[in-house]
Amino acid sequence: MSERSVLVTGASGYIGSHTCVCLLQNGWRVIGIDNFSNSSPKVIPRIEQIAQLPMSFHRLDIRDTSALSEILRQEHITAVVHFAGLKSVSESVAKPLDYFDNNVCGSVALLRVLQQEGIRKLVFSSSATVYGEPTSVPVTEEASTSATNPYGRSKLMVEQMLSDLINSDATWRIATLRYFNPVGAHESGLIGEDPRDVPNNLMPFIAQVAVGRRPQLQVFGDDYPTVDGSGVRDYIHVVDLARGHLAALDRLLNHAGSFTVNLGTGRGVSVLQAVAAFEQASGRTIPLQRAARRSGDIATCYASATRATELLGWQAEYGLDKMCADHWRWQHNNPDGY
């Protein structure tokens, strides 16, 4: 049996599926779990098809601690990558208890089982949302944190809990990864983002307009102090993000201690620039309507990506054109998702 076995929670989700491919391709034995609350069982064979390698998979909720313990005992896990959670800001405002139960209580349940089974290497999916409204850009990991909605608060609470856990027991090795805006898809076109409802995020919305599922994109805000008045974000290719998890795991295997890093490109792109790049990649026109600012949105957010390079030897490789081309291939090949 391989010595390097990784448990991936939320394995069939958007970022989880791309990370499973990357882990398999780099010699990890992968044991995925997911309750399919926001993903499809069809994802798992597609991961195996791309990697040309098998993975183990268990349909499971991370809050089911007895089933989780059983799996950890069977599978001899070295480390855990923890993606499982709910991620819609608007839904979190409507159903805050669901978010605290799933994201916070779910993480507590997982951590208790890991502690009990003596597994102390963890990579956690956090978000740039923990920076709240950044006072300056690029945003470094030292910037102050805050939350403006229950989703963001759930991420911040887990970050704080992990920090207390590390303080209580220095044998934990925890990588907290703060993602900026993941977009794109695997270049095979077999896996990608498949929102269940109307997409909240920009790129999946643009892709659904391009493929004819929605008539037009609303551009939220025309008076931000940016290059063209629309919001600026740091879009990062999901495969680059997946590679960031591999680099974080390598660091955890070889060095004691814990760390927090941003995973972004360090470059800001406006909504109108993203639309232009998507039109170029797809050859389709994206009808636009300028609309009022979306409540809770900030003008500009992009990462300082230097710590990830210094600590992990990682940096994003793919630019906006490839993000759009790969996102479009996925959407075009799978117009209705999985």
Is residue 210 within 8 Å of 282, Cβ to Cβ? yes
Is residue 234 within 8 Å of 266, Cβ to Cβ? yes
Is residue 278 within 8 Å of 328, Cβ to Cβ? yes
Closest approach, Cβ 80 to ligand NAD, in A, equals 13
Closest approach, Cβ 291 to ligand UD1, in A, equals 7
Residue 34 near ligand NAD by CB under 6 A? yes
Window 226 to 285, contacts with ligand UD1 (CB under 6 A): 231, 233, 271
Q: According to CB under 6 A, which one of 181, 260, 262, 282 is a site residue for ligand UD1?
A: 181
Window 2 to 41, contacts with ligand UD1 (CB under 6 A): none
Q: CA-CA distance, 273 to 275, in Å (whole number)? A: 5
Q: According to CB under 6 A, which one of 23, 30, 61, 172 is a site residue for ligand NAD?
A: 61
Q: According to CB under 6 A, which one of 6, 30, 44, 83 is a site residue for ligand NAD?
A: 83
Angle between helix 271-282 and helix 320-333 axes, rounded to 10 deg: 60
CB within 8 Å of 106: residues ≥ 6 apart: 61, 62, 63, 84, 85
Residue 106 near ligand NAD by CB under 6 A? yes
Extended strands (E) in the chain: 5-9, 29-34, 56-59, 79-82, 121-127, 173-179, 181-183, 217-220, 232-233, 235-237, 259-263, 269-270, 288-291
Contact map string, positions 198 to 237, toward ligand UD1, x by CB under 6 A:
--xxx--x-----------xxxxx---------x-x----
Is residue 177 within 8 Å of 261, Cβ to Cβ? yes
Window 182 to 221, contacts with ligand NAD (CB under 6 A): 182
Task: Compute how many other C-beta atoms are within 10 angstroms of the C-beta atom of residue 257.
Answer: 11
Closest approach, Cβ 262 to ligand NAD, in A, equals 11
Residue 220 β-bridge partners: 291
- Residues binding ligand NAD: what is the number (CB under 6 A)? 27
Closest approach, Cβ 146 to ligand UD1, in A, equals 12
Q: CA-CA distance, 145 to 265, in Å (whole number)? A: 20
Q: CA-CA distance, 303 to 105, in Å (whole number)? A: 29
Q: CA-CA distance, 7 to 10, in Å (whole number)? A: 10
- Of the candidates 131, 151, 235, 302, the residue annotated as catalytic is 151
Q: According to CB under 6 A, which one of 6, 20, 44, 84 is a site residue for ligand NAD?
A: 84
Whether 99 sits among the annotated catalytic residues: the reply is no
Smaller CB separation from ligand UD1, 147 or 166? 147
Q: According to CB under 6 A, which one of 8, 38, 236, 261 is a site residue for ligand NAD?
A: 38
Decide which of ligand NAD, ligand UD1, none touches 296; Cβ closer than 5 to 8 Å per partner kind. ligand UD1
What are the φ/ψ torsions at residue 33 (nearest 5 degrees)? -135, 150
- Give the residues lining the site for ligand UD1 (CB under 6 A): 89, 127, 129, 151-152, 181, 200-202, 205, 217-221, 231, 233, 271, 294, 296-297
Which residues are near ligand NAD by CB under 6 A? 9-10, 12-16, 34-39, 61-63, 83-87, 102, 106, 125, 127, 179, 182
Which residues does the annotation mark as catalytic?
151
